[in-house]
Chain A
Amino acid sequence: MTEQELLSAATEAVVAANEEKACEVAREAVSLGLDPLRVINEGFTPGMREVGDLFERGTMFLPEVILASEAMVAAVAILEESLPADQREKTAGSVVLGTIEGDVHDIGKGIVATLLRVYGFEVHDLGRDVPLTSFVEKVAETGADLVGTSALMTTTMVGQKALEKMLKEAGLRDQVKTMVGGAVVTQYWADKIGADAYAENAQEAVAKALELAQG
């Protein structure tokens, strides 16, 4: 297998959510003495990007995305063993996530949590109907880069505004970026309450989170 063929095989293994094949490709890359970072960045990562695109297009679904992610994680673990410690993959960032107090809708929030993990974030999912004080406490405890809140009702979205104030009062607002989402939440609302980002759907939430975490 040439290097190019191996990179293609890595991509295909992730898209097929085939953990066994992904690990086999990773082991072969190590045995051929290929640059592990190149195999990760040009083989496995494009596969995960394609998975994200297929999810966005509605031709690949959440359970398959998770299996694809597990395939990639297992393969990357093999490749990382041959990397110096300082070059090993770090998390993309740390996120505190939850559905705002009074709101029990958590399907969309759960999808966002899953995709954030898939893209390498450390996710502290507080669940649903989460008291505002719990968000503040978790941000303080973890030193998270981002806090994301979901609201599906006009009666609960006001909690997102209150959280902005509470984070300021706790002296944490300058250290953490805020993201808002949910069926009734809009860009206009995010701008109005001073949130750092709004995402229309889970895929966009990941893109915005990556942007904020790098920024």
Chain B
Amino acid sequence: MSTYKVRAGDGRFISMTADEIRRDLIEGSEDAADRGGIPPLEENEIDRLLDLFLDQAGVVGVQIGNQVVSTQDGGDHRINADAGSCGLALAIGRIQELHLHERAFGQDTIELGHIDYSYKAVRPIVAQEQSYVEHALLTTTSPLMYGAMPNLGLYYAPDGPYANPSDLLPAGKVKEALAAQEEASLHAQRDIVYVGTRLADSGLDAMNLDTSGSAGDADFLASLNAAEELKAKRPDLGIEMGMASEFVLGMHGRLSYKGERLAGMYPHDQVRMAEAAGVDVFGPVVNTNTRRSTPWNVARAVCFVKACVQAANIPIHANVGMGVGGIPVLDTPSLDAVSRASVAMVEIARVDGL
């Protein structure tokens, strides 16, 4: 029986028959449907995904006219920095990196960001970041975003002023752990709003609240409250909210926004919260299971994102990168997997951008 090369979730090539690929596609879709309480993919959608994986071309693409915009996150240090596991360490400056993204790579938005990529770290040096925003605006034409993470982890000991829930919870100090998260969430909100208003005053087009929810529901709440406050203070400032994972972890468990409990929310509910906060573009994340095949992961990711798109009234730019959106966990995401996941997101999930 003929076999086809596909990637496993950890990036290795594996061989599967067409029947095995179809089975994984159905199981991936059903897993998302079961967890998220959403409909599984339709049979014709499974058929289209099967076509994508049976096509053994190195790269696949969408039909002319079906292209979508691409927004870039991660700041301006992908090319000029070496973060150990990513980055090229080319000897160019931050503004030159933006020029490369805009003029060589054809990104539809460009993004500045501090190397630490956390709003807390940006607050004390925001004046310097303002000057970078102003210099970038003078020499680029693409919408300029500023990206960083709420990163609540930086607000807990030993890096911040609040006791660490990761220490308190295992010790059974539940009340203290909940209080620490509530305080840290408010602190992060203040930092994001401070940085956002200062950068907006320098002419910034949009903020990216990236990896929202990475430290759980208090982290997501900080992003939502900050977005709402920023929109009230600077209505012309665009806000993109990118998530950290498909599921809002209940590190607190009882936090709510607009009367809805945040813990346990999947992308189709997360986007409703983001909209209510005034967010303009939402970036759902679906995590990759390294032990399942790329067909399983892509079908699962597309199923979640399709439900998110259907629930949304704002543009959806799905995250497709290392370990998310069906892409294997590899330092440099493989083009065969990235292009298949991207086509599936556009044609089946009907995303507005990537």
Q: Contact at A61–B264, with CB atoms within 8 Å?
A: yes
What residues of chain B lie closer than 8 Å to A107, measured between beta carbons? Answer: 153, 166, 215-216, 249, 251
8 Å CB contact of B264 from A58, A114, A200 = A58
Q: Contact at B169–A110, with CB atoms within 8 Å?
A: yes
Question: Which parts of A145-174 form the interface with B (CB within 8 Å)?
Answer: 153-155
Question: Which parts of B150-176 form the interface with A (CB within 8 Å)?
Answer: 153, 159, 164-167, 169-170, 172, 174
What residues of chain A lie closer than 8 Å to B10, measured between beta carbons? Answer: 186-189
Q: Contact at B170–A114, with CB atoms within 8 Å?
A: yes
Interface residue B291 (Cβ < 8 Å from any Cβ of A): yes
Question: Using an 8 Å CB-CB cutoff, how does the interface string of B34-74 with A read, 1 for contact, 0 for none?
Answer: 01000000000000000000000000000000000000000
- Min CB–CB distance B202 → chain A (angstroms): 31
Question: Using an 8 Å CB-CB cutoff, how does the interface string of A160-203 with B read, 1 for contact, 0 for none?
Answer: 00000000000000000000000110111100000000001000
Q: Contact at B12–A117, with CB atoms within 8 Å?
A: no
> Chain B contact residues (Cβ within 8 angstroms of A): what range?
35 or more
Question: Using an 8 Å CB-CB cutoff, how does the interface string of B78-115 with A read, 1 for contact, 0 for none?
Answer: 00000011000000000000000000000000000000
Enumerate chain A interface residues (CB-CB to B < 8 A).
Answer: 57-64, 66-67, 70, 104-107, 109-111, 113-114, 117, 123, 125, 127, 153-155, 183-184, 186-189, 200
Given known A117-B170, A154-B85, A186-B329, contact A63–B178 (CB-CB < 8 A): yes
What residues of chain A lie closer than 8 Å to B167, measured between beta carbons? Answer: 110, 127
What residues of chain B lie closer than 8 Å to A66, measured between beta carbons? Answer: 169, 172, 174
Enumerate chain B interface residues (CB-CB to A < 8 A).
Answer: 8-10, 12, 35, 84-85, 153, 159, 164-167, 169-170, 172, 174, 177-178, 215-216, 247, 249-254, 263-264, 289-291, 323, 329, 331
A66 to B167, CA, bound (A): 13
What residues of chain A lie closer than 8 Å to B178, measured between beta carbons? Answer: 63
8 Å CB contact of A61 from B12, B166, B250, B289 = B250
8 Å CB contact of A183 from B166, B250, B323 = B323
A113 to B172, CA, bound (A): 11
Q: Contact at B329–A63, with CB atoms within 8 Å?
A: no
What residues of chain B lie closer than 8 Å to A57, measured between beta carbons? Answer: 35
- Min CB–CB distance A109 → chain B (angstroms): 7
Q: Contact at B291–A187, with CB atoms within 8 Å?
A: yes
